[in-house]
Copies of this chain bind each other. A is one copy, B any other.
Amino acid sequence: MNTRYKDIIGQIYREVKALPADGNVADYIPALANVDPEQFGIAIATIDGEVIGVGDYQSKFSIQSISKVFTLAMVIRHMGDRLWRHVGKEPSGTAFNSLVQLEWENGIPRNPFINAGALVVTDKLMSLYSHPKEAILKFVREAARTDDIYYDKNVAVSELEHGSRNQALGYFMKSFNNIDNDVDSLLDVYCHQCGITMTCEELARSFLFLANHGINPHSGEQILSVSQAKRLNALMLTCGFYDESGEFAFRVGMPGKSGVGGGIVALIPGQLSIAVWSPRLNKYGNSNLGIETLERFTTYSGISIF
């Protein structure tokens, strides 16, 4: 495969890099605001074990909301469908619904990829693991097949200091008895998971189990059942890009997840996963060049789930 995809992402890299700069990096914490906005990398990992990349695909960045996929997989493999009593599976509608919707729906977040839903997932994870932060790192390292993955403590601390909104979400859901653990501890774990740094290469590798029926193609381990993997992919397709999920499905048509660090990882079931990183965000908080790259990738390669 190498040659064909290598040519395609090489061409896309040149085209997209030449586009006029548009959007701004996330600036709500200094650790994100100070990132060089010109960085840009793409990596593809196939289920038969090859990895190719272009640009800054081996530079570390803050994965932010992409971490929600890892914690969701960790919780689903243990809890199965019992999780869905505490969090829904529907797209959230509009961004400002975050708290509105929680109030209407009695503290049950719409899906696990909005912040409220991700807090519920991490809360369950804390009840499952006595050392949740260690457990998360271990899971991600195994998925990415490298031990070189860490929390950026600086980012985690900054997130905590600027986390009033997430504290509000946590206490609000606790008032509906939908959070079991202490809200302060929950935010500590949550801000750490958001502060994991990874490269495009590591991200692409770490999502391969979702493109491979739940099986880590390297170790052969069945991380999720076939059905669970399919369903997590469906969730990413309908809810993975905040209030731009419909647009992403429409333009790109791959299950995926974005983070405000500028990363996006997406996949074609049975074939490959692809990670892109460019820190400038559009108004929905998704990487501008990331979306451009993925749209061209499905167009040029002709592969699509639809």
Name, among A104, A167, A251, the residue most crowded by chain B CB atoms within 10 Å (CB to CB).
A167
Indicate if the CB atoms of A94 and B101 lie closer than 8 Å.
Answer: yes
Q: Report how many copies the assembly holds.
A: 4
> Interface with B: A34-42, A54-62, A142-150, A239-247, which one?
A239-247
* A102-127 contacts to B (CB < 8 Å): 102-105, 110-111
A99 contacts partner chain B, Cβ-Cβ < 8 Å: yes
Q: Give me 15 other A-B pairs in contact (C-beta within 8 A), A91-B91, A94-B97, A94-B104 excluded.
A: A88-B246, A90-B93, A92-B93, A93-B94, A99-B103, A99-B172, A168-B170, A168-B171, A171-B171, A234-B246, A234-B249, A237-B238, A238-B245, A238-B246, A269-B305
Total interface residues on A, CB under 8 Å, equals 55
Please, which residues of chain B bring their CB within 8 A of the CB of A185? none
Please, which residues of chain B bring their CB within 8 A of the CB of A172? 99, 164-165, 168, 172
In the complex, the 8 A-B pairs of residues with the closest C-beta atoms, listed nearest first: A93-B93, A91-B91, A168-B172, A164-B175, A90-B246, A168-B171, A167-B171, A165-B175
Residue of B nearest to A236 (CB): B306
A89 contacts partner chain B, Cβ-Cβ < 8 Å: yes
CB of A299, distance to nearest CB on chain B (Å): 8
Indicate if the CB atoms of B96 and A104 lie closer than 8 Å.
Answer: yes
Indicate if the CB atoms of B100 and A246 lie closer than 8 Å.
Answer: no
Please, which residues of chain B bring their CB within 8 A of the CB of A100? 99-100, 103
* A202-246 contacts to B (CB < 8 Å): 227, 229-231, 233-235, 237-239, 243-246
* A23-77 contacts to B (CB < 8 Å): none
Partner of A235, one of B90, B244, B250: B250
A263 contacts partner chain B, Cβ-Cβ < 8 Å: no
